[in-house]
Amino acid sequence: MELTKEQKILQQVLSEAWRNPAFKQELIAAPEAAIKKLTGESFELPKGKRLQVFDQSNPDIICLNIPQEPNMDNVELTDDELELVAGGFIVTLLQKKGVDCFYPRLPRKDGGGVAGMATDAYKS
């Protein structure tokens, strides 16, 4: 499978950021300008949107991204999805609806092991 133009640009940008600390700082400070300077190309962003870059390369830090809150007002749930919500598995439902969720592994309430999902830690 061939990479898209955007994927090729992203690949080049990330490689340069890993290799070149000065470029990484430029990318964080002014992402669109840094990308244009490096590649001669720019990303097509939706109107009214901007690109923001965060350095998540430190292996000692777990980064938590807070995504936009999903608009669930007009979402119709299937019977299976209703069962998931009733069982406390909102994370699973959000993932099925295309919302990426990351929850760090938490200690279990009973003190044993580690919870596999955030919801596991709060089950009684």
pLDDT at position 14: 93
Distance CA 33, CA 11 (A): 17
Spacing of C-alpha 37 from chain mean position: 26
Which residues, including other chains, have CB under 8 Å from residue 91's CB and lie 6 or more apart?
A: 101, 103, 117, 118, 119
DSSP single-letter state for residue 122: G
Q: What percent of the chain has pLDDT over 70?
A: 66
In single-letter form, the type of residue at position 103 comes to Y
Work out the average pLDDT over 75-98.
66
- 109 pLDDT higher than 60: no
User: The pTM is what?
Assistant: 0.55
Distance CA 105, CA 117 (A): 6
